[in-house]
């Protein structure tokens, strides 16, 4: 029985909990305890060895499981096609590793009767690659995070567009020697993997430890039984990334950080701290701590736990003395068992966490100290935030009493030219660009993100939908997650929840995206109920949702979640009319918003003629798209078949004011899924291109999401040799309510914004070289002016770096934008000049890009053609010193950017 519903459409108990403010999880090495005890968390990034493929003559089956036989399928599957039933698989007689891997899931399986018993033995232990004595000196030396596919080359032939035209699939091996000192004898030692793509299997010293199939989740293995303290320990990791397993570029390899954790046998368990807050007001807030303590020794332990709370500054450093304290509590723990500790405290005048610009993302840290026999055995830090989040069906999302409209985007996990290998600075740059546009919310599409990304959203104050699966039991690609969903859905969901439930930025759990079970009636709803029940067991403080592109209000699935998320249905999908009103009528007590909106397509700076007179339409040859060049018009009027322009989306939302907001598909272009041209490398749906350069659409969203920002943006550019005398429509994006356009001083007309109109259009302007200018007004007062001027011949390169100082830690990055400009410094908007990059000083060129979805030049190349006047170089420091990036092109003055690399700040 689900209980009575309160305002917001959730069970009474859960509704009460939605008001709780919650924190975020361990992000750095906690302080160590006294000698002989305490915790160490060591990032093991350097000096890995890597090789593709299994050793020759392999006689043992190292597969996780038997897979369906797949013939190579055609590219260009319709993005919103109905998922299919799973294929039957014959497993009789197969000697696969699944029985040895499944026990890794046991800590996340609630019913002891359903936990897995590991068979005896260590399959694969005789394989040469796992042996400590194997000579791997000829293998590639790599640093983690590592994406084995991103360096290319691109696959220009064959049906590989969906997965990004980079060969991410296949077998890969990683080896690393771990020096475990004799002093670690008696300690618990763990391997924490934040992400490995995919079907990971781990051996230590020739012994099979365990693994994890799902490539996007974080997981832990207990190395303790297999460690030999006092010498070299050989770690070997095998990954098996299937082909036809993804609808986008998944990357390959150990693409997130890997950690070695050393702890006393008595310690806080894995993701064993959960901080919630309630009764939040300006005067005080209650902070509750639930802590799980493990005793991995063979003796009963008497344990004392105390916790202190500190404020954190914007860099995550403690401020002053504790602001509150949870009094010490003693409890016994049986041998090889665990115990649960709970305590609470009050913070006076709390500094609340909330989204800028009207609120600040203030944070605290809970420092829990564990003692046994008067000895500190563990000290565990749990950063968190205090905030009150409510879901109101009429107002939408309310944070700390303030209505926050969701100005959100979806993002896939790749970081453009550096691929799936997570890099904190690259992710931070993306968030900075999105914030400039007015974004305040991110949907993690369609998988658990890198934990460091949530640390960034915590610090920067973004609201987050954390999503776990793209499929359940029905498949979208032949070898996707549906193969392991029956065995692993509970473990994968619980692990994401436990890892992420302390992050204040996370406000909503999504259990799936456009799953095939939308089509299966009550059978699909039953799976949804199971997943929702798991969420409520792990975290009763946040509501649940699933993104629906097919399910209608009268179907069983929408009733199972707390918040209604619809993909494209708000404005209407193809011939289906908008569904906001229908969902509202069926679920008047639930918050409704669009979890995927628009899917507008465009190539930055590519303006195709003639220009449609309509406000929205699908891309077609000669109407928004050019199949020969594989580009889509930057007038921002055309979309995927199931989507629409921003203008149409805005209109649908404004006519239904109960809608809580939207998450646009997508914030950034991403590798793979290049609708409508699957011979390209990357998508067209981003508001920002793959290199991080805003498309014209950026300013349309900015005019809506930052209505107080005084600006006007003109499109297209005004350099069109050969178009003299031809109709060249001019559009303007601005939050003004009136605008007048001039071409070389001649007025083209003054326009007042019409109801449900979101751009100013002059559709019959005749091109002539010179200057186009717009003047705007708002509420009868001058608002903003803007001009576009015809550029002369390309004459020089201008280099601009995003930050002039970076850390010389081998991880920090500088992003250098190269503009091709004329003699007067005006960008040459049609230039495709070939640019050569070189580095002087202690730096290296990581990658180059230009945002062109059709460019098949490998990302590490030091030669890159400009795309419509722009290119990008990514630079990393090797050691401290002065780095200069030099960009050169035939017949042009070179561009130079200076970067100071300093010793990393601690």
- Max CA distance (Å), the chain: 90
Nearest to 511 by CA among 551, 463, 486, 548: 548
**Burial category of 435 from C-beta neighbours within 10 Å (exposed 0-12, middle 13-18, buried 19 and up):** middle
| 798 and 774 in a common domain | no
Q: Is residue 7 domain-resident? A: no
Specify whether the CB–CB gap between 250 and 307 falls below 8 A. no
Do 379 and 412 lie in a common domain?
A: no
**Mean pLDDT of the 247-262 span:** 98
On whether both 448 and 569 belong to a single domain, the answer is yes
pLDDT at residue 21 greater than cutoff 60:
no
Report if residue 101 sits inside a domain. Answer: yes
318, 365 contact by CB (below 8 A):
yes
Whether 106 and 227 map to the same domain: the answer is yes
Sign of CA dihedral 875, 877, 883, 888: negative
Distance CA 763, CA 735 (A): 20
* pLDDT tens-place string over residues 255-306: 999 999 999 999 999 999 999 999 999 999 999 999 999 999 999 999 999 9
Say what percent of the chain tops pLDDT 70. Answer: 96
Quick one: 539 and 662 in the same domain? yes
Helix 485-500, helix 451-460: angle, nearest 10: 40
The answer on 415 and 363 residing in a single domain is no
**117: domain CATH number?**
2.60.120.260
- Residue 30 clears pLDDT 70, i.e. is over it: no
The 10s digit of each residue's pLDDT in 351-384 is 999 999 999 999 999 999 999 999 999 999 999 9
Strand pairing report for 661-665 and 592-598: parallel
SS3 at position 557: helix
Residues 785 and 826 in one domain: no
Domain boundary (756, 789, 822) is at 789
Residues facing residue 877 across a β-bridge:
843
Out of 326, 356, 385, a domain closes at: 385
CB 548 within 8 A of CB 518: yes
| Domain-embedded: residue 328 | yes
Q: Which domain holds residue 317?
A: 266-385
Sheet with strand 21-22: strands edge to edge: 21-22, 266-278, 284-295, 337-348
Residues 466 and 557 in one domain: yes
Count of all residues that appear for the chain in the document: 906
Examine residue 696 and state whether it is found in any structural domain, yes or no: no
Residue 721 lies in a domain: yes
Asked if the model's pLDDT at residue 16 lies above 60, the reply is no
Q: Specify whether 221 is located in the same domain as 336.
A: no
Cα–Cα distance, 434 to 443 (Å, whole number)? 13
Average pLDDT over residues 397-421: 98
Check residue 906 and give its pLDDT. 57
Among all residues, which ones are annotated catalytic? 514, 596
Record the tokens describing residue 642, joined without a space. 């199931």
Q: Note whether 221 and 361 are same-domain residues.
A: no
Pair 475, 93: CB distance under 8 Å: no
What is the band of 828 on the pLDDT scale with cuts at 50, 70, 90?
very high
**What is the rounded CA–CA span in Å between residue 864 and residue 850?**
7
**Phi, psi dihedral angles at 653 (to 5 degrees):** -70, -40
Specify whether 118 is located in the same domain as 226: yes
Query: What is the C-alpha separation between 690 and 154, in angstroms, rounded?
Result: 15
What is the C-alpha separation between 64 and 673, in angstroms, rounded?
Answer: 27
Cα distances (angstroms) measured from residue 454 to each of 428, 535, 905 = 11, 19, 21
Residue 450, Cβ density class (10 Å: 0-12 exposed, 13-18 middle, ≥19 buried): buried
Give the C-alpha separation, 884 to 843, whole Å.
8
Chosen domain end from 774, 789, 804: 789
Query: Looking at the DSSP assignment, which residues form a beta bridge with residue 740?
Result: 750, 775
Alpha carbons 774 and 739: distance in angstroms, whole number? 7
Best CA proximity match to 541, nearest among 384, 762, 696, 690: 384
CATH code at position 769: 2.60.40.10
pLDDT for 609-626, tens place per residue? 999 999 999 999 999 999
CB 821 within 8 A of CB 798: yes
pLDDT of residue 215: 98
Cα–Cα distance for residue pair 607/794, rounded to 1 Å? 19
pLDDT at residue 622 in the model: 96
- CA–CA separation, 462 vs 516, rounded Å? 30
Q: State residue 75's pLDDT score.
A: 87
Mean pLDDT on 803-808: 96
Lowest mean pLDDT among 1-10, 407-416, 841-850, 867-876: 1-10
287 within a domain of the structure (yes/no): yes
**Of residues 257, 123, 148, 147, the one with CA closest to residue 202:** 123
Sort residue 121 into left (φ over 0), alpha (ψ -120 to 50) or beta. Answer: left
- CATH number of the domain that residue 560 is part of: 3.20.20.80
In a domain, 247, yes or no: no
Q: What is the pLDDT of residues 738-762, one digit of tens each?
A: 999 999 999 999 999 999 999 999 9
The three-state DSSP-derived secondary structure of 873-898 is EEEEECCCEEEEEEEECCCCECEEEE
Q: For the chain, how many structural domains are there in total?
A: 5
In a domain, 458, yes or no: yes
pLDDT digits (tens, 9 = 90+) for 671-712: 999 999 999 999 999 999 999 999 999 999 999 999 999 999
Regarding whether 208 and 283 lie in a shared domain, the answer is no
């Amino acid at each position: 029985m689900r209980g009575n519903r309160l305002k917001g459409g959730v069970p009474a108990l859960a509704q009460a909990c939605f008001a709780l403010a919650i924190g975020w999880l361990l992000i750095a090495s906690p302080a160590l305890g006294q000698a002989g005890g305490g915790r160490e968390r060591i990032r093991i990034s350097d000096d890995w060895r890597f090789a593709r493929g299994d050793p020759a003559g392999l006689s043992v089956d190292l597969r996780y499981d038997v897979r369906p036989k797949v013939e190579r399928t055609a590219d260009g599957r319709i993005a919103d096609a109905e998922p299919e039933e799973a294929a039957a698989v014959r497993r009789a007689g197969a000697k696969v590793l699944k029985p040895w891997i499944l026990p890794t899931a046991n800590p996340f399986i609630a019913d002891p009767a359903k936990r897995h018993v590991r068979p005896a033995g260590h399959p694969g232990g005789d394989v040469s690659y796992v042996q400590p004595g194997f000579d791997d000196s000829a293998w590639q030396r790599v640093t983690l995070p590592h994406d084995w596919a991103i360096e290319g080359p691109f696959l220009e032939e064959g049906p590989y567009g969906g997965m990004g035209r980079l060969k991410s699939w296949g077998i890969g091996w990683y080896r690393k020697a771990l020096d475990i000192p004799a002093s670690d004898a008696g300690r618990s030692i763990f391997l924490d993997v934040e992400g490995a793509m995919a079907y990971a299997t781990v051996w230590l010293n020739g012994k099979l430890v365990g693994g994890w199939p799902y490539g996007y989740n974080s997981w832990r293995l207990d190395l303790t039984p297999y460690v030999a303290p006092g010498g070299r320990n050989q770690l070997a990791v095998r990954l098996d990334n299937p082909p036809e397993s993804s609808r986008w570029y998944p990357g390959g390899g150990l693409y997130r950080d890997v950690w070695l954790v050393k702890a006393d046998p008595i310690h806080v368990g894995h993701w064993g701290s959960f901080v919630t807050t309630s009764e939040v007001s300006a005067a005080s807030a209650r902070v509750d701590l639930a802590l799980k303590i493990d005793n991995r020794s063979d003796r009963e332990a008497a344990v004392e736990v105390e916790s202190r709370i500190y404020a954190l500054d914007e860099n995550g450093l403690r401020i002053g003395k504790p602001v509150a304290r949870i009094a010490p509590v003693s409890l016994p723990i049986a041998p090889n068992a665990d115990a649960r500790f709970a305590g609470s405290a009050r913070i006076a005048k709390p500094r609340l966490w909330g989204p800028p610009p009207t609120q600040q993302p203030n944070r605290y840290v809970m420092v829990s100290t564990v003692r046994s026999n008067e000895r500190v055995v563990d000290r565990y830090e749990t950063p968190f935030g205090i905030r009150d989040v409510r879901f109101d069906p009429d107002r939408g999302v309310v944070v700390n009493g303030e209505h926050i409209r969701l100005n959100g985007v979806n993002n896939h996990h790749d970081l453009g030219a550096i691929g799936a290998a997570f890099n904190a600075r690259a992710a931070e740059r993306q968030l900075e660009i999105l914030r400039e546009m007015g974004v305040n919310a991110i949907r993690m599409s369609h998988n658990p993100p890198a934990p460091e990304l949530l640390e960034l959203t915590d610090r920067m104050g973004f609201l987050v939908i954390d999503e776990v699966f793209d499929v359940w039991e029905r498949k979208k690609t032949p070898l996707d997650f549906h193969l392991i969903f029956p065995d692993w859905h509970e473990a994968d969901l619980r692990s994401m929840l436990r890892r992420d439930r302390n992050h204040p930025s996370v406000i909503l759990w999504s259990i799936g995206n456009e799953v095939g079970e939308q089509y299966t009636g009550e059978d699909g709803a039953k799976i949804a109920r199971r997943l929702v029940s798991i969420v409520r067991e792990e975290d009763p403080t946040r509501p649940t949702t699933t993104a629906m592109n097919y399910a209608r209000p009268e179907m069983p699935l929408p009733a199972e979640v707390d918040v209604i998320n619809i993909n494209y249905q708000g404005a209407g999908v193809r011939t289906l009319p908008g569904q906001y009103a229908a969902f509202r009528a069926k679920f008047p007590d639930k918050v409704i918003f669009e979890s995927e909106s628009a899917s507008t397509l465009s190539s930055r700076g590519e303006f195709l003629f003639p220009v449609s007179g309509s406000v929205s339409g699908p891309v077609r040859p000669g109407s928004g798209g050019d199949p020969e060049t594989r580009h889509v018009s930057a007038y921002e009027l055309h979309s995927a078949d199931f989507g629409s322009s921003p203008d149409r989306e805005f209109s649908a939302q404004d006519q239904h004011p109960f809608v809580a907001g939207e998450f646009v598909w997508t914030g950034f272009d991403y590798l793979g899924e290049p609708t409508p041209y699957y011979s390209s490398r990357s998508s067209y749906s981003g508001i920002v291109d793959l290199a991080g350069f805003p498309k014209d659409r950026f300013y349309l969203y900015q005019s809506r999401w930052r209505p107080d920002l005084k600006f006007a943006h003109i499109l297209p550019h005004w350099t069109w040799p050969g178009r003299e005398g031809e109709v060249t429509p001019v559009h303007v994006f601005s939050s003004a309510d009136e605008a007048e356009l001039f071409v070389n001083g001649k007025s083209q007309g003054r326009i007042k914004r019409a109801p449900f109109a979101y751009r100013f259009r002059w559709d019959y302007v005749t091109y002539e070289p010179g200057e186009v200018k717009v003047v705007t007004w708002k509420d009868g007062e001058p608002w903003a002016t803007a001009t576009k001027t015809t550029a002369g011949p390309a004459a020089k390169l201008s280099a601009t770096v995003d930050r002039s100082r970076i850390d010389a830690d081998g991880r920090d990055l500088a992003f250098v934008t190269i503009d091709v400009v004329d003699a007067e410094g005006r960008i040459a908007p049609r230039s495709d000049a070939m640019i050569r990059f070189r580095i002087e000083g202690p730096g290296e060129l990581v990658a180059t890009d230009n945002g062109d979805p059709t460019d098949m030049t490998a990302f590490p190349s030091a030669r890159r053609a400009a795309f419509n006047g722009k290119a990008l170089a990514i630079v990393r420091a090797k050691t401290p010193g002065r780095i200069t990036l030099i960009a050169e092109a035939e017949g042009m003055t070179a561009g130079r950017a200076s970067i100071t690399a300093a010793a990393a700040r601690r």
